[in-house]
Amino acid sequence: MTLHQLIETSYQMFLDYTKKARIVLLHPHSRYRSILIARVINEPAVKTFYYAMGPDDVNVPSFLSGLTHDLADQYPLFGRHLNQIRYDTITDHKVLIETLVRDLDELSEEPYVLILDEYDRADAADDLQAFIEKLVPALPDKCRMVINSRTLPRLPWVSLIAQKQATVLQDDRLVSSDFYGVEHEGSPRLEVYALGPGYVELDGKQVTTWEGHLPRLLFFFALDRPIVTRAEICQAFWPELDTDQAVNVFHVTKRRLHKALGFDVLVHDGGYYRVNPTVSIHYDIMDFVGALVEGRSREGDEAVAAWQRAVNLYRGPFLQGHSDEWIVSRRTDFRAGYLEALTEMARARQDEGRAEHALGLYLRAIGEDPRREDLHRAVMQLYANLGRRSEAAAHFQKLEEDLKNEYNAEPEAETRVLYDEIMS
């Protein structure tokens, strides 16, 4: 394949996947990512806005100032909302994100791509990484953010991919495994399971000498991103402590983690912590998210097999039994992927004429998220198709009662219309 053909293949894949995810990462291992960026910018059919991160983008105010300046050159009215507030004095990310999103929403009336180039210049900015993570799900539907970076951004890519917010492309390939670009090979061998209560096996034996739950959770937190800073760890685990106290507790917890596993599992490199790359690690989260990516990108029996694999891998909520804020957030992300796999499996079984099997899958999905009325409607319709009208009615009435008692809400108009159609 010639270079021109490779770039065109990568470009067509890029166009396809920018329709499916809010944020697209051009993996740092991509050989032609900068050429692809140039190809996108020079394509008249794709409305594109461009911002190259600079050395001054060391925090959120600096980033917003640079972004506003450069995008205003491309669209003169950009920043009219941000410029009405003193964003250099506001620390509430929610306010800043809402204001930025208003400007992004007015940037174009048609779908567009926002490229953040040279993103690695902001690697050291903890608050900016947190800001971008919160910005992604709030982006206007017509906006697709593309990140080009020489290093893997410190974002929780596996959870973003699980909830269909992100896609990672490497030239003409969709990345569906080894998302962080580090093949953990060597000895000892760790089997890590986070879906369910969460446990670790070292060379085939379950580790039980944690000296409390914090060392174990610290290990799972480190697996969540490509690299983490000490400040990120302290903020996630001990936000109520001052810096010196939090750092002391962190070092004690890290020593207990290393003692439990018998080696230094967290290594410090260039100001960041990461899981020791010389250790062989098999992590069920990576397998689960990889199965989701394959289910979304394949067709027919191959897609069904991938969805089934994702369902089988989901042994329970992420780190079940813990309620730390970062754990609850990840739990929601991975549950979204599990629901997607269940519903896709249910649709496949319907297409095969296996209505009873599909019904069971939909009911399992409702058990995970009782407020998904699209799932309730699917169950009601299946009951009706099977000639079990009374069960469809009972299902609707139970939904109506639960919504009223638990959420002081009523069924959506579409759900009620379906109920009336079935009963008539």
Tell whether omega for the bond before 370 is within 30 degrees of 0, i.e. cis: no
Q: Tokens in use for 130?
A: 């947190």
Percentage of the chain beyond pLDDT 70 is 98
Query: Exposed, middle or buried, 391 (CB in 10 Å: 0-12/13-18/19+)?
Result: middle
Q: How confident is the model at residue 217 (pLDDT cuts 50, 70, 90)?
A: very high
Query: Exposed, middle or buried, 233 (CB in 10 Å: 0-12/13-18/19+)?
Result: buried
| 32-54: pLDDT as tens digits | 999 999 999 999 999 999 999 99
**189-282 shares its CATH topology with 287-423:** no
Q: How confident is the model at residue 108 (pLDDT cuts 50, 70, 90)?
A: very high
| 136-183: pLDDT as tens digits | 999 999 999 999 999 999 999 999 999 999 999 999 899 998 888 665
pLDDT for the residue numbered 186: 63
Average pLDDT over residues 343-364: 96
Angle ∠(282,288,294) on CA atoms, nearest 5: 115
pLDDT for the residue numbered 278: 86
- Those residues whose C-beta lies under 8 Å from the C-beta of residue 423, and which sit 6 or more positions away, are 389, 393
The CATH number corresponding to 189-282 among 1.10.10.10, 3.20.20.80, 3.90.190.20, 3.30.420.40 equals 1.10.10.10
Q: Does the structural domain 287-423 have CATH classification 3.40.50.300? A: no
Number of Cβ within 10 Å of residue 390's Cβ equals 10
Average pLDDT, the chain: 94
- pLDDT at residue 184 is higher than 60: no
Q: Residues 416, 419, 421, 424: what is their CA dihedral angle, to the nearest 10 degrees?
A: -120
pLDDT for the residue numbered 182: 61
pLDDT for the residue numbered 23: 97
- Rounded CA-CA distance 11/231 in Å is 38
Q: How confident is the model at residue 424 (pLDDT cuts 50, 70, 90)?
A: confident
pLDDT for the residue numbered 140: 97
| 282-333: pLDDT as tens digits | 999 999 999 999 999 999 999 999 999 999 999 999 999 999 999 999 999 9
pLDDT for the residue numbered 188: 75
pLDDT for the residue numbered 1: 72
- Domain range list for the chain: 3-174, 189-282, 287-423
Contact 274, 267 (CB under 8 A): yes
Average pLDDT over residues 379-397: 96
- Rounded CA-CA distance 96/180 in Å is 29
- Architecture of domain 3-174 in CATH? 3-Layer(aba) Sandwich (3.40)
- Rounded CA-CA distance 310/312 in Å is 5
Contact 382, 359 (CB under 8 A): yes
Contact 79, 51 (CB under 8 A): no
| 226-259: pLDDT as tens digits | 999 999 999 999 999 999 999 999 999 999 999 9
H or E, element range at 177:
none
